[in-house]
Amino acid sequence: MSEAIETPGRALLPRRRPGAGGPAGTSGPGAGALGSVCLGFFMVLLDGSALNVALPDLSAELGGSLAALEWTVNAYTVAMAACLLGGGALADKLGARRLFQVSLLLFVAASAACAAAPGIGALIAARAVQGVAAGGLLPASLAVIAHMYPESAARARAFTIWGGVSSLALVAGPVAGGALTAGVGWRAIFLVNVPIGLAAAVVCGRKVAPSPVRAVRLDVPGQLATAALVGSGIGTLVQAGALGWSAPLTLVLATATLAAAVAFVVAERRAAHPVLPLDAFRRPGFTPALTVGALYQFGAYGAQFAISLHLQRHWGRDALGAGLAFVPFALCWSLASFVLARAVQRIGVRVLLIIGAATAAVGALTLLPLAATPDWWLFMAGSCLLGLGAGLMGPSLPTLALRALPPDRSGLASGSLNAFRQIGGAVAIALFGPVLAGTGAGGLRICLALVAAGFVAVSWAVHRSVR
């Protein structure tokens, strides 16, 4: 990854004196420091995808409507997306290590609340708090790593490890979630975060040096407008799927979305340090980069959600069986992310994105017949292609976003990309949930067709806008 990857809403990180070192054989903070940071955000990202395979078991115990079940997933991703843009500025103001530790402890507390939730409403509320914590932890982890490794080569290696671990967390989620749900119960998905998170916080406090702080003015109105816009927009899609577009609640949420959009534009025009400057969208390549990021998460995360539910509802698999079914998908994704990521510098992000999106689209189309007839060989072929394509695309996305803006706005680029990726995943859950519930086994065919269409749109957008 490029050393220009920074935290949302901030300028390039100040360099410390040379000699601070880095991973893989250089002097510096050592494996314990980097490991504690990686462990923290690995846990956060894993939690986002692990719950997908546990939804049937969760629903059987807690009950709740289809919309409520979707919100157990989307409360997390929506809250994270809404907080990511302001997370970098907060890291500057409080210090990146301090924000990382505070966010990690908040995530641990929210995880314990999720594990102890007596009902679906309490679980959704605790998931939202988890998302807020993740929105601070992810950008803070990038800032901590950048401060630990000021030298270009060491920082690049550290960010490569960060990117590889984040990809591994996303694909390992269904497998880990299935194993925990089958062996202990769905609550174990959250309970296991408590010792892991506490250990990461302690090691970080001992091994990672305090980060510098800066006097940064926070764009509170812009942050609040962003949260309202994302939350009400996703809420409109969820409730429209459950109640219909003419339902009073859907109409209220749609109106709130429009009002939040207006408030956001007004707030960003007036803010001295806007959380998302509107002039950035006039830069060539910035809007396409965000669009590609959202479509990527829509396809990759949406496919996981749809396939895991289909395997349990229509193929009779339990949570563990559904999780294990994702092993080929996870292995191909990891292979592409870890082994093939270096090809970005040799053949360029444009070619990798087009090839990856086309491969993922073919994988989704290969899975279409599974809606009618279970076929494990076809499932393995399609899921491997889907994982390989998504894995090829992942490492290229930060580069695509970062080169769309000047170096002093690299924090804005990376933060915006991560936020739009989370929004893309939340939209997929909001759309796919009603489709899977209302059309029977054929719902998988519709979802996979939308996934394929999204990846085809990525290829077209990259072909037209990236050079």
Question: What is the CATH number for 124?
Answer: 1.20.1250.20
227 with 204, same domain: the answer is no
Is 7 among the domain residues? no
Beta-carbon contacts of 335 under 8 Å, excluding residues fewer than 6 positions away, are: 388, 391
102 with 176, same domain: the answer is yes
Is 13 among the domain residues? no
Of the residues 218, 245, 260, the one at which a domain ends:
218
Write down the pLDDT at residue 190.
Answer: 93
Write down the pLDDT at residue 57.
Answer: 86
Is 18 among the domain residues? no
88 with 141, same domain: the answer is yes
CA distance 40 to 139: 12
Reduced to 3 states (helix: H, G, I; strand: E, B; else coil), residue 348 is coil
224 with 213, same domain: the answer is no
CA distance 314 to 329: 20
Structural domain for 393, as ranges:
277-467
Write down the pLDDT at residue 11.
Answer: 37
Is 5 among the domain residues? no
Is 10 among the domain residues? no
Give, in order, the Cα–Cα distances in Å from 26 to each of 151, 231, 349: 10, 44, 29
315 with 184, same domain: the answer is no
Is 2 among the domain residues? no
Write down the pLDDT at residue 243.
Answer: 79
359 with 402, same domain: the answer is yes
Give, in order, the Cα–Cα distances in Å from 189 to each of 43, 80, 196, 435, 443: 10, 18, 12, 26, 27
296 with 268, same domain: the answer is no
Q: Is the pTM of this model over 0.85?
A: no
**Could you say which DSSP state residue 263 is in?**
H
67 with 182, same domain: the answer is yes
Write down the pLDDT at residue 342.
Answer: 62
Mean pLDDT by 10 residues, the chain (467 residues): 37 39 49 81 80 84 78 85 78 82 94 94 94 87 77 70 72 82 89 90 85 76 87 85 85 94 92 84 87 92 87 82 84 78 67 91 93 85 92 80 73 78 86 79 88 93 80
CA distance 15 to 33: 18
Query: Domain count of the chain?
Result: 3
213 with 224, same domain: the answer is no
CA distance 310 to 178: 14
Amino acid at 131: G
368 with 458, same domain: the answer is yes
435 with 344, same domain: the answer is yes
Is 4 among the domain residues? no
Is 14 among the domain residues? no
328 with 191, same domain: the answer is no
